[in-house]
Amino acid sequence: GQQVMQIPQYQHVQEGEDFTTYCNSSTTLSNIQWYKQRPGGHPVFLIQLVKSGEVKKQKRLTFQFGEAKKNSSLHITATQTTDVGTYFCAGWGGSTLGRLYFGRGTQLTVWP
């Protein structure tokens, strides 16, 4: 069945370093979404990418959607302690309509 795989599972960085998490789907996605979950909190929507090859930026965060619409990445430039949390990718589509497939998430720790 449909799977959304995300790597790495954990990432520890020094404040100021960059961070990237990667997401891959076994099938073509109609779109890709990214969520952030702060420790003890719930996932909060960050952004949605729809077009093949799309790139979007939110301040220090850069999101990309692959040309084949099967992979995506989130890059954070110059991490800050406020970036701590788990970042999830999620995609609609595949064999079961109406279902949102989540990756396992990348847990980011930022050392001051």
Binder of another protein out of 61, 90, 108, 110 (CB under 8 A): 90
Kindly identify the residues of this chain, within the stretch 54-83, that bind another protein according to CB under 8 A. none
* Residue 49 Ramachandran class (φ > 0 left, ψ -120 to 50 alpha, else beta): beta
Rg (CA), the chain: 13
User: Smaller CB distance to another protein: residue 54 or 77?
Assistant: 54
Binder of another protein out of 83, 103, 108, 110 (CB under 8 A): 103
**Residue range at the interface with another protein (CB under 8 A); choices 17-25, 62-70, 73-81, 102-110:** 102-110
- Phi and psi dihedrals of 40, rounded to 5? 80, 0
Q: Name the residue among 83, 89, 14 with its Cα closest to residue 45.
A: 89
| d(C-alpha 74, C-alpha 56), whole Å | 10
User: Smaller CB distance to another protein: residue 16 or 58?
Assistant: 58
DSSP classification of residue 77: S
User: Smaller CB distance to another protein: residue 9 or 52?
Assistant: 9
Query: Interface residues with another protein (CB under 8 A)?
Result: 6, 9, 30-31, 33, 35, 41-45, 48, 50, 88, 90, 92, 96-100, 102-105, 107
